[in-house]
A = this chain, B = another copy of it.
Amino acid sequence: VRRVPLSSPGNQTVADAGERAIIAAIRTRVPTAPAWLAVGIGDDAAVAEPERGALEILTTDASVEGVHFNRRFSAPCDIGWKALAVNLSDVAAMGGAPRLALLSLALPAELLIADLHALLDGFIEMAGEARVTLAGGNITRSPGPLMIDVTVTGTARPRRVLTRGGGRPGDALYVSGVVGAALAGLEWLRRSDGSPAIPASNTRLPEDAALAECVQRYRRPAPRARLGALLGRNRAASACMDLSDGLADAVDQIAGASGTGAAIDAETLPIPAAARRFFHDLGRDPITAAVAGGDDYELLIAVPNRARGRFATVQRQARGVALTRIGELTGEPGTRLLRGGRAEPLPAGFVHF
C-alpha cells in the first residue's frame, strides 16, 4: 500500500493516506479532552468517569449514503454535522444533556482526504456547539456507500428522563420549531439537481431566501439540545420524541407507547409559508407533506395539565424556540388529523424499507 503524508495537497484519497494516518490526523483535530475523559482517541477503547448521581443515556444512529444523504445535495461538512446532530436530537428527546460521542466511519477507498476533513469540520463544529467530546471510534473501508455511525452518551437526573410511553389522555401535544421545512428543502434539491458537477450542486441554494432556509435546514438541522434538557430537568412533559421520521410517525409512536390515541389539528401546524407555497406549486397537499415528511429534528412533547406551569417556565427559558400546541392525546384509540371539521387518518411517516 502506497503511503502519502496527510499534508500532501490535491487529490489524495483515504486509501492513499491509510488508516493510522487518518486516526492520527483526527486526534490532532480534537480539542483538549475534559478531565473526566481518562482515555480518548487512539487506544482499544475510550475510558470516561461517569457523572456522579446521573443516569446515562445512550443512542446510536447511522447516516448512510443513498439513504440518509446524497453527496450531490449536501457538502461533506453538512454530512458530518448532521450525522452528529441526529444523535443529539435523540438525547434531547429523552430530556438529557449530551456528553461524549463515538464516530464509526466506513469510507469508500476513493473518498478524498479533503472531503473527509471537511466532514470532520462539520462534525467537530456541531460537537463544539453542543459541548460534546469526541472520545473515540472506528475507521474501516466501505466497498459501497459512505456510512457514518455515531454513538452519543448523555446524562439526566433520576426521574427526569422523558420516554415515549408516559402520556395520558388529555395531555396537550406541542411541537417545537416548524415542520415540513426539511422535506421542502430536500424536494427542491431533488428537482434542481441537473448538473453533473457535485461541488456545484452540493452547496446550491434557491433564490427565494425563505426556501433557501428550508434547504439549509435539511442540510444542517439544529437539534433541540437545550429545549430537551430543560424539559427533562423541569419535569415539564409526560412524553417526548423527536421528529426524525416525521410528525405522523412521532404522534403514532407516542400514542402507541402511552396506550392512548391522538388528535392533531391541521390548522395549527407550524408549516413555514415558503414550504406551503413550494408544496402547493408541486401539486402536493402541504399538510400531508409536512405531517408525513421526515428530517425535521424537532421535538413532539406531551404536556399534562399538572405540568402546565413548569412547561410555561421552560417556554420562557428556551427563548427563541417556538412551541406550538397542535393537538392532544385521546382516550379513543387511533391517530386522527382534524381538518375542516372532519377527522382523517394521519398519513404514514417516513419508511426506511
Where the two chains meet, the residues of A that have a C-beta atom closer than 8 Å to any C-beta of B are 1, 14-15, 17-19, 38-39, 42-51, 54-62, 64-68, 90-91, 93-94, 96, 100, 102, 104, 106-107, 109, 135-145, 147, 149, 151, 153-154, 156, 161, 163-165, 240-242, 257, 351-353
What distance in Å separates the Cβ of A112 from its nearest Cβ neighbour in chain B? 13
Question: Which residues of chain B are near A352, meaning CB under 8 Å?
Answer: 19, 139-141
Known A-B contacts: A17-B353, A39-B163, A147-B147. Give 11 more (CB < 8 A). Answer: A43-B164, A44-B59, A44-B241, A45-B59, A46-B57, A47-B56, A47-B94, A58-B102, A58-B135, A60-B102, A61-B104
What distance in Å separates the Cβ of A56 from its nearest Cβ neighbour in chain B? 5
Contact of A47 among B17, B55, B100, B241 (CB under 8 A): B55
Question: Which residues of chain B are near A58, meaning CB under 8 Å?
Answer: 45-48, 100, 102, 135-136, 151, 153
* In the complex, the 7 A-B pairs of residues with the closest C-beta atoms, listed nearest first: A144-B144, A45-B59, A50-B50, A44-B93, A66-B143, A149-B149, A44-B90
What distance in Å separates the Cβ of A336 from its nearest Cβ neighbour in chain B? 20
The answer to whether A106 touches B143, judged by C-beta atoms less than 8 angstroms apart, is no
State the CA gap A107–B144 with chains docked (Å).
13
Question: Which residues of chain B are near A153, meaning CB under 8 Å?
Answer: 58
What distance in Å separates the Cβ of A297 from its nearest Cβ neighbour in chain B? 11
Contact of A19 among B47, B64, B351 (CB under 8 A): B351
The answer to whether A144 touches B141, judged by C-beta atoms less than 8 angstroms apart, is no
Known: A43-B163, A44-B242, A163-B43. A60 touches B151 (CB 8 A): yes
The answer to whether A351 touches B94, judged by C-beta atoms less than 8 angstroms apart, is no
State the CA gap A143–B164 with chains docked (Å).
30
What distance in Å separates the Cβ of A178 from its nearest Cβ neighbour in chain B? 20
State the CA gap A168–B197 with chains docked (Å).
53
Contact of A353 among B15, B50, B353 (CB under 8 A): B15
Of listed A96, A107, A353, residue having the most chain B CB within 10 A: A353
The answer to whether B161 touches A90, judged by C-beta atoms less than 8 angstroms apart, is no
The answer to whether B141 touches A142, judged by C-beta atoms less than 8 angstroms apart, is no
Known: A55-B38, A136-B60. A47 touches B161 (CB 8 A): yes
What distance in Å separates the Cβ of A74 from its nearest Cβ neighbour in chain B? 16
The answer to whether B137 touches A44, judged by C-beta atoms less than 8 angstroms apart, is no
Question: Which residues of chain B are near A161, meaning CB under 8 Å?
Answer: 38-39, 47
What distance in Å separates the Cβ of A133 from its nearest Cβ neighbour in chain B? 11
State the CA gap A320–B310 with chains docked (Å).
60
State the CA gap A353–B55 with chains docked (Å).
39
Question: Which residues of chain B are near A49, meaning CB under 8 Å?
Answer: 55-56
State the CA gap A113–B57 with chains docked (Å).
30
Q: Please name 28 pairs of A and B residues whose Cβ atoms are closer than 8 Å in the assembled complex, sorted by A.
A: A1-B351, A1-B353, A18-B353, A19-B353, A38-B55, A42-B164, A43-B165, A44-B93, A44-B240, A44-B242, A45-B57, A45-B58, A45-B90, A45-B154, A47-B57, A47-B58, A47-B156, A56-B56, A58-B135, A58-B136, A64-B141, A64-B142, A67-B140, A102-B151, A104-B149, A140-B352, A142-B145, A147-B147
